[in-house]
Amino acid sequence: MDCDVLIVGGGPAGLSLARSLADAPLRVIVVEKQPHAALEAPGYDGREIALTHRSIGTLKALGAWDLLPPEDVSPLDEARVLNGASPFALSFDPASHGGGPLSLIVPNHRIREALFRTVEHQPNLTLLAGVGVAALKTSARAAEVTLDDGRTLSAKLLVAADSRFSGVRDRLGIGAEVNRLGRSMMVCRVRHDGEHHGVATEWFDHYQTLAMLPLNGRRSSAVLTLPAAEMDGIAALDEAALGAELTRRYQGKLGRMEVDASAHVYPLATTWSRHFAATRAALIGDAAVGMHPVTAHGFNLGLQSQATLAKLVIAAAQRGRDIAAPSLLRRYEMTHRLASRPIYAATNWLVRLYTDERPGARIARHATLRAGSRLPLARQAITAMLMQR
C-alpha cells in the first residue's frame, strides 16, 4: 500500500480529516487539484461561515482555532427570520442557554488557511497538490487511484472530499440527488451607517432572499439570493451602484451601505448522496451532503462528518483492525445520515416554502412564521442545537 488513507480534496473537510489522523499510526495522502500556493494562501471568496459551538470545539481540537486572526472572528448574538412585511419574526437568542454568542462568524478563506497550517508539516501526511484523479477502482483488498499525471496510488481507505459535484463519488458508482435550483447567491461584505447589534437576519422577502450576517464594527456580510438571470444584472454593477442596490433591497434597515470587499456569485444547488460509503471508500463534507446555505449548516456538517469517520478509523487502527471494514463504513454511513438527513430535509422544505410566490404558499409561510413566534420550546430546541458543544 502507498498509504493507509487516501483523501481526495484539500478543502476544509479533507484537511480536517487529515489533521484528525495526525496522531494515528496511519500513513495519509491528500490529493488536491489546486496548486500548493492556493492551499497555502487561499484567496478571499466572500463566504463567511457561521460556526456552531461544536464546530468551534472541533477546530480548537485540531489546533486551527488559535491560528485564526482575532479581528476576523465576529460574534453572532441573535438570529431572526423575517417574511416579507410581516411583523412576526422567529428569533433565536442564547439567553436561556447560559448566554454568550449564538455562533461565531469567520471568513471561509481564513479557516482554510488555518487548517492548511495545521497539516503543513504533519509527519504522517503527504500532500500532492496541483494534480487530479483520472481513474479509480476498489476491491475487497484496496482502493487504487490513478492520477492525471500517470501516477497510481493504492490505499486501504479512499475518502472523497472533493465537493458536492464529486468526481470520486461518480467513479465509485454512487448516485446522488442533485437539485440545481436555478438561483444564484451573491455574497458581499458591506459597511453601513447603522448598528447591527450582533443580530443576523434571514429575510424571505417577495422574489428575493436577503440575509445579513453581523461582522465586527459597522460591517455585515450581505447574502442576496435571486433567480440566476436576474443576478447577472446585479453582478454587473460597479461597487457604488451595488452598495446603493443593496441599501434599497434591504429598505435602509442598516442605513446606507457601501461595498467593503469584492462580491462573489455562486449558482445554488443541493446534493444528497444515495450512499455515504462503498467498498473501501467513504464520502465526507459536501461530497456526502451539499446543503443549501440558507441555514448555514453545510460547513458544520462537513466538519462533523470527518470527525465521525476519524473516530471510527482511529479506534480500528489502534486495535489493529481493518480501517475500511464494511461494518465500520456502515456505521459511519448510518451515523452521519442520522445527523444530516433531518436538517437537510427541513432546510429544503424551508427554501421551497419561502421562495414559492403562489398565494397559497404566501399564506402558509406567514402562518408558519406566526406560529413559530409563539412556540418558545421549538425556538429553544433549535438554539440548543446551535450551542451544543
Tens digits of residue pLDDT in 45-99: 999 999 999 999 999 999 999 999 999 999 999 998 887 766 665 777 766 555 6
Chain mean position to CA 187: 14
Q: What are phi and psi of 259, to 5 degrees?
A: -65, 130
Average model confidence (pLDDT) across the chain:
90
Of 74, 82, 72, 61, the residue nearest 101 (C-alpha)? 74
Q: Which range is least confidently modeled, 200-209, 264-273, 307-316?
A: 200-209
Mean pLDDT, rounded, for 29-51: 97
| Sequence-ordered strand ranges (E) for 242-359 | 257-259, 264-273, 277-278, 281-283, 289-290
Is 0.85 surpassed by the pTM of this model? Answer: yes
Which of the pair, 309 or 364, is modelled with greater confidence?
A: 309
What is the rounded distance in angstroms from the CA atom of residue 223 to the CA atom of residue 216? Answer: 17
Tell me the mean pLDDT in the region 228-234: 94
User: 310 lies in a domain?
Assistant: yes
pLDDT of residue 379: 43
- How far is residue 271 from each of residues 268, 288, 298, 336, measured CA to CA in Å? 10, 8, 11, 15
223 occurs within a structural domain = no
Q: Which residue is it, cell 432546510?
A: 347
347: pLDDT strictly greater than 50: yes
Q: How confident is the model at residue 384 (pLDDT cuts 50, 70, 90)?
A: very low
Q: Within a domain: residue 235?
A: no
Note whether residue 200 is domain-resident: no
Return the pLDDT at 373: 55
- For residue 140, being part of any structural domain is answered with yes
pLDDT number for residue 100: 82
Query: Running DSSP on this structure, what letter comes out for residue 256?
Result: S
Domains of the chain: total:
1
Longest dimension (CA), the chain: 62
pLDDT digits (tens, 9 = 90+) for 362-383: 566 556 665 555 544 444 444 4
Rounded Cα distance between 12 and 331, Å, is 23
> Residue 349: what pLDDT?
80
> What whole-number distance in Å separates Cα of residue 49 and Cα of residue 71?
15
Mean pLDDT of 3-29: 98
> For residue 322, what is the domain's CATH number?
3.50.50.60
Which of 16-20, 66-70, 121-125, 369-373 is predicted least confidently?
A: 369-373
Which of these ranges, 74-88, 188-202, 225-239, 293-307, has the smallest mean pLDDT?
74-88
pLDDT at 350: 73
Domain membership of residue 282 (yes or no) is yes
- pLDDT tens digits, 234-247: 999 999 999 999 99
Q: Is the pLDDT of residue 388 over 60?
A: no
Residues of the domain holding 334: 3-178+268-387
The pLDDT, as a whole number, for residue 94 is 65
Is residue 230 situated within a structural domain? no
Q: At what angle do helices 12-20 and 53-62 cross, to 10 degrees?
A: 50
Write down the pLDDT at residue 376.
47
Residue-level pLDDT at 346: 85
Q: Please say if the pLDDT value at position 248 is more than 90.
A: yes
What are the angstrom distances between the C-alpha of 113 and each of 30, 116, 163?
16, 5, 18
